[in-house]
Structure 1
Amino acid sequence: MSGNEMSAVVSSPLVQVDDLARSFDVSAPWLNRLLERKPRQLLHAVDGVSFSIEKGKTLALVGESGCGKSTVAKLLVGLYGPSRGQFVFDGKDAHQTYAGGDNGRALRRRVQMIFQDPYASLNPRWRVADIVGEPLREHGLLQSDAAVDDRVGELLSSVGLSPADASRFPHQFSGGQRQRISIARAMATAPDFLVCDEPTSALDVSVQAQVLNLMKRLQRERGLTYLFISHNLAVVRHVSDEVGVMYLGRLVELADKTSLFASPRHPYTRMLLDAIPKMHDTGQARTPVQGEVPNPLNPPSGCAFNPRCPHANERCRSERPVLQSFAGIRIACHAVEEGRI
């Protein structure tokens, strides 16, 4: 292998998502459609999302509720299959691998997920020892019960809990402690890639900081790669290296954290950032996020953001923009392309 080829292999991203899409059939039952003469209805939850994540880095996806962030998460861990597009993990088509028996099991060990609600994602009838130990037994990573118990104790210690907590039930913990248990379970298989679906949104602010610092520490120690999904831009600024802004199933801006927070380009990104309270603006009125996300079953023609955008023109209302690079930032906006903003 030549030096150039070796360099290309080394620099290839761990996670590569190309034109990923997922649609759901939300049509009325067949007989209703026949009698009422209604067509089938498809909900395009994710519609052509593309991004990459380098090993050891964090990409954050942000946006309002209903923009498709959680659907992207479930596509990457194999809970949903794609309607279109590809997810390549470490050079291999992940969705084909997920369906491939032993190869699929091996991939699932390397890709794990932390869910939004720690109480809902933990079995209330199981003790913590069973919850955290289940991946170890399911994947056959440890054979004896004693080895599993020792490993569970190590995992609990790594997330700031006591090995003695293994004998307790989820309801005996606070919300932050339950999320630490979820993180310990996700870490049980020694994954390379963690998909974090709003892991701190159900927690108090002080507890959020503890969990975020824990995740940052684990990333430094173990070289983890994160896809971090959140609607809280203050949290995103703390944890991310790159930020992708989603709107109605599509990425509208993708940039490194510093560039995006310092000089956002897309009108939707600007709207989200303007709504954040700022310490130096105490006493000044904040700009609320205008309007609401359109009905995804009946999205606007052209740019989906055009009904809420102060810079929209006729082209915006008729032609859907595509993600393009402008000075290292990828943006889907006609106004930016034309130099109007």
Structure 2
Amino acid sequence: MSEVSLPLVRATDLAKTFDVSAPWLNRVIERKPRMLLQAVNGVSFDIERGKTLALVGESGCGKSTVARLLVGLYEPTRGGFSFDGVDAHAAFKTAEGRKLRRRVQMVFQDPYASLNPRWTVGDIIAEPLREHEILSDDSAIEQRVSELLQSVGLSALDRIKFPHQFSGGQRQRISIARALATQPEFLVCDEPTSALDVSVQAQVLNIMKDLQRKHGLTYLFISHNLAVVRHVSDQVGVMYLGGLVELADKHTLFDTPRHPYTRMLLDAIPKMHDTGKARTAVAGEVPNPLNPPSGCAFHPRCPHANARCSSEKPVMKPIGGIRVACHAVEEGRI
């Protein structure tokens, strides 16, 4: 394979397990076993340079854990993540990891929690410039902060204000400006518009698309809103209980979804032209991740499940131009 065709981002069999046990003394006295939560279990995907992969799924499926694994906030229990051909998790621990962190940045979900309320907007955006020693001269930093604010549709004069003086949408623009300060190539966006009104969501998403075109940014975009995903993504990965169940390009996934869970998610979306038709609610409850079902994790909620589904875990396989983990699709039953 030539260097040119290598994806910028490659996650291979990523897994993360958290120990959620009670304290040791409680376990001894109450005779309780250790409790392990498999938040992410064997997720693999590639993201081409300049493209957007969206991860979707219900709350608690492991999307945000994947995001934190990719920026080095968590260390994987198993598997790995390579960035531009380099083992990122090994690099994060070395002196060279500082350079890598400049190239990989994150926009967090809650703009009310991710900005320091005691700092001015200018100091917040200047922090990465100073921390990574990109600029040291105060006037150059001030000039760069002004440029970054203007690039996300805010005024250069906003740098003297504090976060509480801005609306949610404006705060998220400040978060994006801070993430862009190091001129990254890869942005991990963890539900960056979920806390915003619909009209403001559109403004922020359009800014993100414009920035992608202008700077050639690569995005991992995490969301549970399929309408947002349709607007921003090139490829879509559907997650369920810590694993990927379907991965396809956007048009294929929305036009011809294969996995029963993907179909269920899409059926639940209200459609403009089906005003008289009842929406199909997503059936059943998400299983307890501390005690996941045997076989396919989705089988208790799946209308196509059989004995094989309840005993044998499906693996992601390329079927008809997409990757899907489903015995029913593999066997041609749906």
Residue 92 of structure 2 is matched in structure 1 by: 98
CA deviations over 1:164-204 (Å, ceiling 9, x no partner): 00000001011110000000000000000000000000000
Which residue identity does 2:237 align to in structure 1? G
User: In the alignment, does 2:22 pair up with 1:25?
Assistant: no
Secondary structure of 1:186 counterpart: helix
Residue in structure 2 matching 1:227, options 185, 210, 220: 220
CA deviations over 1:133-192 (Å, ceiling 9, x no partner): 000000000011111111000000000000000000001011110000000000000000
Matches within 5 A, 1:1-341: 8-101=2-95, 103-341=96-334
CA deviations over 1:34-86 (Å, ceiling 9, x no partner): 22222211100000000000000000000000000000000000000000001
Distance 1:97 1:22 in 2: 19
Distance 1:206 1:218 in 2: 19
Pairwise CA distance, 1:29: 1.4
Which residue identity does 2:53 align to in structure 1? L
Which residue identity does 1:239 align to in structure 2? V
Distance 2:56 2:173 in 1: 23
Distance 1:129 1:35 in 2: 53
Which residue identity does 2:105 align to in structure 1? Q
Pairwise CA distance, 1:283: 2.1
Secondary structure of 1:21 counterpart: strand
Distance 2:270 2:20 in 1: 38
Distance 2:315 2:180 in 1: 37
Runs of at least 4 residues off by over 4 Å: none
Secondary structure of 1:270 counterpart: helix
Secondary structure of 2:214 counterpart: helix
Q: Quick one: percent identity of the two aligned structures?
A: 77
What is the aligned-residue RMSD (CA, Å)? Answer: 0.7
Distance 1:283 1:154 in 2: 49
CA deviations over 1:197-236 (Å, ceiling 9, x no partner): 0000000000000000000000000000000000000000
Secondary structure of 1:212 counterpart: helix
Aligned residues: 334
Distance 2:274 2:194 in 1: 25
Distance 1:333 1:184 in 2: 41
Distance 1:81 1:157 in 2: 35
Bigger mean CA deviation after superposition, 23-32 or 245-254: 23-32
Distance 1:188 1:31 in 2: 47
Distance 2:277 2:258 in 1: 23
- Give the unaligned 5+ runs of structure 1: none
Secondary structure of 1:277 counterpart: coil
Which residue identity does 2:311 align to in structure 1? S
